[in-house]
Structure 1
Amino acid sequence: MRYIFLTEVCGNRNNNREREFFSPGYFNFLFMSWIKKIFLLFVFLSGSLAFAQNSTVSGIVFEDLNENGKLDSNEVGVEGVGVSSLSGIVETDSRGGFKLEICKNDIVFVIKPSGYHFHLNEYNIPKYFEQIYPQGSPKSLNYAGIRPTLPKDTLLFPLIPSDTQSGFRVNMVADPQMPRKREVWFFRETIIPSLLTANSEVTIFLGDIADNNLDVFPHFMGSLKALENPVYAVFGNHDVNYRSPDNSLKAETFRSWFGPDYYAFNYGNTHFVALNTVDYFGWNDEYKKKGSYFGGIDSTQLQWLEQDLALVDENFRIVLLTHIPLHPDYFKKQDLKKIFSLLEDRREVTIVSGHLHQNKSWAYGPELYWNGKSQLRSVIAGSASGSWWSGPYASDSIPQATCVDGSPQGFYQYAFRDDGFNYRFVPAQKKEDYQLRISSPHRIVKYNPEKPHRVVVNVFSGDERCSVKFSIDGGTFTGMKQFTGVDPFVERTHFRRINGDNWSPGISQTDHLWEGELPLKLEPGIHTIKSVVGFPDGKKYSATTQFELVDDGQ
């Protein structure tokens, strides 16, 4: 007897062919295959249902002395280590053991204690978490999430002993924002070399790794293989799986690559807390498009933050890592107040964010809802993509990507010590001492005896604590005044700033500008102008340029 079965070949439903076989052998084979599949499905579903009814996992955090990733007979557990789900935290007992209640789909992760480090995966992401998703992420999302994953009988988290760092450096990289593989190559050719040169113990990406197209994640991950330190990532608004119907599923794809979208870890006497500050309103069914968002934090994450901070030594410094800045212009006021209320008694707190594609820094006070006993400052750590990878383009087609405030693309490096910290801006495609630009005067300046020409200096990571001065032709230095405005360099070059989508970014005002005036008695001719900036940590940088003063009346 001859039977015909329609089969799909290479995913093409129309590419069907005939199969010939003899009964009953083929039917016996087919029957046993289906029995096996049904049995495996039954086992999996039984495990899923049983797990849904008993949502407790257990495990051990241990010292991995021989660094083989296994719990050997001579290795012991580590007491007092925080182990967390996305909703609650417990501490390990005297043997390093823990039991933790978790939700149906959850992630279990360890809050790294000082004096230890994790094993890294092939992309240098620390192996500090286990995804437990019995049913996997919903298939309705436009980008794949986490595959169905049942919990292991015992979760094992190895910690490798290391020296407790009294001094260490962290590279903070904001907004690579790559919409496709083309921009991933720009990232590899501009930011990765700078990261390799600016050595650090940790690299943290402050969100917007993607630009809505989450298919760039695997290409981005490949870029991280060159880095020789642990890499953490913060969730950004352009990392949202935008077909999520609400706020609960927005980070499913991000979690599949990077782990939890909020977490904490310790280095030395510093406690880092990464928060998910994107409040996503869900897919817009009416207009069939990506939904809106604003800065905020939900009640579950806020409760988690409260639990986390309660376990932190009162003498530790707190560093909040966010994508959307904790500022009422970008963040819900009531959520901002709740976060700050948990930090008011801390001896030292600082915030590092991205999102704005510029360098910016400000101090908090009561007008920004901060009433803590310590000074609080926030830094926007520039942008790796600058103004969204816009031109002008170099000879090898790499965009200059100047940020909207006139600063070059780049990132920040923080240097932490027991008694404090400082940071510096690291420009990409430039020398490391390129920290300021004399934006005006520019080339030809017309002499005006009644109106002196303005001198404008852009100090890329400057703030009100900096001192800036300039001199003409090696003469006496004159102090400059900080002001808020538009960098003249951005104004005169804006017409060239077009990216791969034929889109041009806007022009943004900035407060890291300083101004002065050229002397009225300056003689016509070519002159050299020099500007020097002094930063709060004592470092000084300078810039020099020339201009020609012409007198049309001669």
Structure 2
Amino acid sequence: MRRLLICLSLLLTSVVNAQVKKVEGRVFEDSNQNGQYDKGEPLLKGITISNGRDLVKTDAKGKYSINTLVDYQVFVIKPSSYQSALSKENKVNFYMPYEVLGKVNTYDFALYKQEESKPLHAVLLGDLQSDVMDDIHHVEKLVVSELVQSPPNLIFPLGDLVFDRLEVFDPLSKSLGLIGSPIYYVVGNHDLNFGKGLTIKDRDSSYKKAFGPSYYALEYGNELIIVLNNIMPVDEKKYVGKIDEVQKIFLKNVLKQYASTHTKVKVMMHIPVEFMEDKAEFVNLFDAYKEVFIATGHTHTQYHNYYHRAGKTPIHELVAGAVCGAWWQGPHDIEGIPFAMMYDGTWKGYWNLHSEKDSYKLGYKVSGRDQQKQIHVWAPEVKEWDKSLEHLNDGYVYANVFAGDKDTDVQISYDGVSWQKMEYYEGVDPHYTRFIELQKLGRFKGMNISNFVDAKRKSKHLWRLSIPQGLEKGPQVIKVKAIDPRYGLNHVEYRVMWAPQ
């Protein structure tokens, strides 16, 4: 595999070095927003243009000139307080269209002013994994219909937009575009071109036709945001997590140029850092920045990682779960949407990122539920009619805090007055196990659904505590609270439990 990676790297380098021509043009303020330069419209100085490797800035007359690289799109790095034109689907047209690569030697970039003085509100969408139109309709009900009521400033779908069916890019983007926010897409491994005879330069050709470059950067207010493609194909079907050499040059150039004006950076990509072959080198690239936040997807579970740096604030990575939960699997609810609980017991949803000058806050939103739904409490149940799952009653109360980590404060109260700390527990959520058990019993046979996989993945945000002896007989309300300002948690969940006899 490593030999193949070396060969791919050499091939990529040789292709990139074959510079076909220069592209030149202007960057201007599109005052009337008609997409073309009109006499008298301001020409913008100091705007950064990239060819996917190098960076150049526009001169005093708004002009730029840059060498093009074979199969790489030239694009503008959006400056603060400006926005590129949006397509009908609210994709951001910050790049030369794929179909004109190698065919034109002039291209103008239009920008128009927008207000960016308020704190950034971005929505992070983990794997949407759309395979058929049914899945897109699920996304519409779970995401579009919620966010359209109060659109965020920016939306970042974090890769695996589709499930290998690249023709679904178009209907998915049309549906997400209805939200009304600028959408900056991230590529995932299921969004790439794989097949016999394809090389690394072909990996994102379909993606680029639909969404533009698979890595780029932008500013919003005082934010520097970098979108990366960290999927490296190693044969016609397999891949590893890695930043290719040309992209690495681009990343280094961006980090160096903006270090004088930004102390923090946010990175959006698909594969979590822990699974990258160049993890150590990648983390070290950000040494010049005081605050580094990374959002990823890929695992269909969600959790937080912190990468410690000597003398600096640790890099915080959010593995942001999946809009599709576990691959749109399992029985459907009253709306016809699969339950699709994530493998770690997280209810499917998305993240809100609120970022101010000196801090940021995260908050998880369960799709289709009130913002207060942050915890699921599992307690034993003794039934009369259906006793098939009573073997799951193990004498514990479990709490799955969807946004939490091992340092989250989770407590339980049986009387509403006194509280006890629950024990952090790395195990399988019994609520997810419940679905697996029902599936084994054949309860879902006859339904046209995808089956859940085995319950083997341990949750990283699960707590439990054994039920104390001496509780009053009969039903009682128990309360579980989770407190963690880092992740927007200050929530209480209620559950009725019958004291064990």
* TM-score w.r.t. length of structure 2: 0.88
Residue equivalent to 1:300: 246
Residue equivalent to 1:269: 222
In structure 2, C-alpha distance between the alignment counterparts of 1:109 and 1:531, rounded to whole Å: 50
1:345 aligned to 2:288?
A: yes
In structure 1, C-alpha distance between the alignment counterparts of 2:305 and 2:328, rounded to whole Å: 26
CA positional deviation for 1:371: 4.3
In structure 2, C-alpha distance between the alignment counterparts of 1:186 and 1:496, rounded to whole Å: 23
CA positional deviation for 1:550: 4.0
Residue equivalent to 2:134: 182
1:523 maps to a residue whose letter is E
In structure 1, C-alpha distance between the alignment counterparts of 2:116 and 2:58, rounded to whole Å: 20
Of 370, 377, 388, the residue aligned with 1:431 is 370
Secondary structure at the aligned position of 2:460 is classed as: strand
CA positional deviation for 1:106: 2.2
**How do residues 35-434 of structure 1 correspond to structure 2 at under 5 angstroms?**
55-131=21-97, 147=99, 149-197=101-149, 199-243=151-195, 245-283=198-236, 291-314=237-260, 315-327=262-274, 330-332=275-277, 335-365=278-308, 370-371=309-310, 373-434=312-373
1:547 maps to a residue whose letter is M
Residue equivalent to 2:14: none
In structure 2, C-alpha distance between the alignment counterparts of 1:517 and 1:540, rounded to whole Å: 23
Secondary structure at the aligned position of 1:222 is classed as: helix
Bigger radius of gyration among the two: 1
Contact 1:345 1:372 in 2 (8 A): no
In structure 1, C-alpha distance between the alignment counterparts of 2:120 and 2:342, rounded to whole Å: 28
Of 443, 463, 478, the residue aligned with 1:529 is 478
Contact 1:279 1:294 in 2 (8 A): yes
Q: 1:402 to 1:59 in 2, by over 3 A?
A: same
1:440 aligned to 2:379?
A: yes
In structure 1, C-alpha distance between the alignment counterparts of 2:22 and 2:476, rounded to whole Å: 74
Residue equivalent to 2:419: 477
1:433 maps to a residue whose letter is Q
In structure 2, C-alpha distance between the alignment counterparts of 1:166 and 1:418, rounded to whole Å: 10
Contact 2:231 2:239 in 1 (8 A): yes
In structure 1, C-alpha distance between the alignment counterparts of 2:282 and 2:374, rounded to whole Å: 33
CA positional deviation for 1:429: 1.9
Q: 1:362 to 1:53 in 2, by over 3 A?
A: closer
CA displacement 1:189-235 (0-9 Å, x = unmatched): 22212322453100110000110111211111220231111001111
In structure 2, C-alpha distance between the alignment counterparts of 1:339 and 1:358, rounded to whole Å: 23
CA positional deviation for 1:258: 0.4
CA positional deviation for 1:325: 0.4
CA displacement 1:288-328 (0-9 Å, x = unmatched): xxx1111111111101100111111443420111100011x
* TM-score w.r.t. length of structure 1: 0.80
Contact 2:91 2:177 in 1 (8 A): no
Contact 1:452 1:518 in 2 (8 A): no
Q: 1:53 to 1:526 in 2, by over 3 A?
A: closer
Q: 1:399 to 1:271 in 2, by over 3 A?
A: same
Q: 1:429 to 1:160 in 2, by over 3 A?
A: same
CA positional deviation for 1:148: 6.0
Q: 1:496 to 1:86 in 2, by over 3 A?
A: farther
Structure 2's unaligned 5+ residue stretches are 1-17, 388-392
Secondary structure at the aligned position of 1:490 is classed as: helix
The number of residue pairs the alignment matches comes to 467
Residue equivalent to 1:518: 467
In structure 2, C-alpha distance between the alignment counterparts of 1:513 and 1:395, rounded to whole Å: 28
1:294 maps to a residue whose letter is V
1:323 maps to a residue whose letter is H
Contact 1:463 1:512 in 2 (8 A): yes
CA displacement 1:172-193 (0-9 Å, x = unmatched): 0010001122211222222212
Residue equivalent to 1:135: none
Identity among equivalent positions (%) equals: 27
Secondary structure at the aligned position of 1:510 is classed as: coil
Q: Cα RMSD between the aligned structures?
A: 2.3
Contact 1:453 1:517 in 2 (8 A): yes
Residue equivalent to 1:546: 496
Secondary structure at the aligned position of 2:283 is classed as: helix
2:433 maps to a residue whose letter is E
In structure 2, C-alpha distance between the alignment counterparts of 1:65 and 1:207, rounded to whole Å: 33
Contact 1:444 1:550 in 2 (8 A): no
CA positional deviation for 1:380: 1.0
CA displacement 1:124-165 (0-9 Å, x = unmatched): 01111003xxxxxxxxxxxxxx54655445311111112333
Contact 1:350 1:376 in 2 (8 A): yes
CA positional deviation for 1:505: 2.5
Contact 1:441 1:456 in 2 (8 A): no
Q: Give the structure, 1 or 2, with the largest relative contact order (CA under 8 Å, sep 6 or more).
A: 2
Contact 2:24 2:66 in 1 (8 A): yes
Residue equivalent to 2:6: none
Q: 1:496 to 1:255 in 2, by over 3 A?
A: farther
In structure 1, C-alpha distance between the alignment counterparts of 2:461 and 2:240, rounded to whole Å: 26
1:263 maps to a residue whose letter is Y
1:540 maps to a residue whose letter is N
Structure 1's unaligned 5+ residue stretches are 1-51, 132-145, 284-290
Contact 1:166 1:418 in 2 (8 A): no
CA displacement 1:300-357 (0-9 Å, x = unmatched): 1101100111111443420111100011xx210xx22222222012111011000011
CA displacement 1:64-114 (0-9 Å, x = unmatched): 223222222222222221101122221111221111001232201100011
